[in-house]
Chains A and B, each alone.
Chain A
Amino acid sequence: MKILICISNVPDTTTKIKFVNNNTAFDIAGVQWIINPWDELALTRALEIKDAQPGIIENITVVNVGLIDSEPTIRKALAIGADAAIRINAEPKDTFFVASQIAEVVRKESFDIVICGIESSDYNGAALGGMLSEMLDLPSVSAVSHLDVVNGAVELKREIDGGQETVATQLPFIAIIQKGIAKDARIPSMRGIMTAKSKPLTAVEPIAADLLTEFVGFDLPKPKAACKKIDPDNVRELVNLLHNEAKLI
């Protein structure tokens, strides 16, 4: 079985968000870049399955649409345990464009399971997996919180409001994963970091594809009023404020 994992290169989740050029571009100065947390969990889960059943998963490849500066992040995915990586040399400006690029990779090289995080923590597009499945005319399961391979068949659970569904699917398919798929992302080992150097990281040029959307500006949310502190010995005051001031209870 071959698995493809789509990874996005995003700012560390603790980054202080600022914009430049008259609020039209994200300020990348001093930013530390990481694998999008959902994508990293997807990779972790794929590796867990591969480790638990040697021989079942023959290859885990990661794919990223990004310029050369996303290579350290891709290299980290290899250090964590992916077998190979493909970088499509283009700026990931629009999800439709990104999906078009990755669809091309899947058309050329077949995969049994393609995994996407449900969203990326930068532009929160939350659409890549769906777009990709439609372009490839493949079934997809969204908000997957459990993924396993048992006797060659895929076992899936997805989150629904107020519960969980067990879903069966044909292969190949696209899993759009949610948190819960793996507990913590893996920390790369020394061996992993060392071997990542010699694993294949192939850069390919993008195909022509449309951009359906474009960001034209950004704003920071207005700073909120300071927290009103209430004496712990006067909890009644909180209820009073929530009732009379906020009018919420």
Chain B
Amino acid sequence: MNFEFTEEQKMIQQAAKDFAERELLPDVIERDEKSEFPAEHIKKLSELGFLGMMADPKYDGGGMDTISYVLAMEEISKIDSSVAVVMSVCNSLVNWGLEAFGTDAQKEKYLRPLASGQKIGAFLLSEPEAGSDATSQRTTAEDKGDYYLLNGTKNWITNANSASTYIVIAQTNPEKKHKGINALIVDKNSPGITLGPHENKMGMRSSDTHSVMFNDVKVPKENRIGDDGFGFSFAMKTLDGGRIGIASQALGIASGAFERALKYSKERKAFGTEIFNHQSVAFKLSDMAVKIENARNLCLKSAWLKDQHLPYGIASAMAKQYCADIAMEVTTEAVQIHGGYGYVKEYHVERLMREAKLTQIYEGTSEVQKIVISRSLLK
């Protein structure tokens, strides 16, 4: 057991903190209000290597461990989750999947520009009628000999417009049910792809979320990841790691709100003293601190398991569920501690509260995590 971070991990944490405070903080409220994609910010983030931080240096990635990733995600998410989600999708879903299961040629062609941050990717799993239930894919990838013909609609796709490379989960053999599903690498510029309007969301408003329609899109056979029918397994394995990203994001939202509430409680006076000196406020902060500490430990534990090449799917489900749930609780309390100021945009906590809600929903709702966890208890 060792709870000490390495020099490098601390350096990455500090770099992410500096970036978030210097580059993201100044306009985050405005971007949220305008629902404006942070293109410039993402470019800078990619130049620093955060979008491919865990990918193999052989493919121009950063070669960092998952612990570092958790630390960086937390810092970015304290300030702007719309940026953090781009980082999570690129690192956990797109790059990791390509690196773990792609062929050398696929890695050369698709992973390298993603790992180096020149391009960004998107992961297309959710559908209008299949959100958390990944087994019932309606999007079809019909086997046409040397290519697949892709038809259908994907929903709630992060980076849909800004990504160059899509990883699309689609059904090839419906009779085989989930064993007929494939994962395909699709160029976003392929003919037949259209995007729905930018979603007008409650939180993470500046992240680039659209539905994506495929109409007779030809995808070369060599763009399939793994063997025929590997798609469902691919998606599940990828989501195991994705949950670490979203868990750290939720953690960052919680700790960002906590830090603001703590600071505020030491400055704001009521009844002749700083509100921190009122036990009702101090105990709230104490409860928040315990939850955040637990949440951080769950994130780091699942990251550590992954770095040790030990099974981490259950740990990451626990982390995702717990972090998301406490993010909701902690941000709600942070707004409460701020009183009226918490309800206006200038103090950030209302935005963090809106952002927290999404972490309970996407990449597997809290309920889905409970299914994963409870099933493991049965075994």
Tell me the A residues contacting B by CB distance below 8 Å: 71-72, 75-76, 79, 184, 187-191, 193-194, 196-197
Contact = CB atoms under 8 A, between A and B. Distances in A.
A72 B7 contact: yes
Contacts of B48: 187-190
A175 B49 CA distance: 32
Interface in B1-51: 7-8, 10-12, 14-15, 18-19, 22, 47-50
Contact of A188 (B15, B63, B64): B15
A190 B7 contact: no
A79 B11 CA distance: 9
Interface size for chain B: under 10, 10 to 19, 20 to 34, or 35 or more residues? 20 to 34
A57 B50 CA distance: 28
B18 A193 contact: no
B47 A197 contact: no
13 contacts: A72-B10, A72-B11, A75-B7, A76-B11, A188-B11, A188-B48, A189-B48, A190-B64, A191-B49, A193-B15, A194-B64, A196-B11, A197-B8
A49 B11 CA distance: 24
Contacts of A191: 49, 62
Contacts of A72: 7, 10-11
A75 B52 CA distance: 22
Given A75-B7, A79-B11, A190 B53 contact: yes
Given A75-B7, A187-B48, A194 B15 contact: no
Contacts of B18: 187
A182 to B, nearest CB: 14
> Mostly helix, strand, loop or mixed at chain B's interface?
helix
B57 interface: yes
Contact of A193 (B11, B22, B47): B11
Given A72-B10, A75-B7, A197-B8, A190 B22 contact: no
A190 B14 CA distance: 12
Contacts of B47: 189
A197 B9 CA distance: 12
Nearest to B16: A187
Contacts of B15: 187-189, 193
B62 A190 contact: yes
Contacts of B63: 190, 194
Nearest to A34: B14
B19 A190 contact: no
A194 B52 CA distance: 13
B10 A190 contact: no
Contacts of B64: 190, 193-194
Nearest to B11: A193
B12 A187 contact: no
Contacts of A194: 8, 57, 62-64
B72 to A, nearest CB: 9
Given A194-B57, A194-B62, A194-B63, A189 B10 contact: no
A214 B14 CA distance: 34
Given A194-B57, A194-B63, A194-B64, A189 B8 contact: no
Q: Among A184, A190, A196, A197, which residue has the most Cβ atoms of chain B within 10 A?
A: A190
Nearest to B18: A187
A191 B11 CA distance: 12
A11 to B, nearest CB: 14
Given A72-B11, A76-B14, A196-B11, 7 more contacts: A189-B48, A190-B52, A190-B53, A191-B49, A193-B64, A194-B8, A194-B62
A189 B7 contact: no
Nearest to B7: A72
A189 B47 CA distance: 7
A76 B13 CA distance: 12
A98 to B, nearest CB: 24
A188 B17 CA distance: 12
A73 B50 CA distance: 21
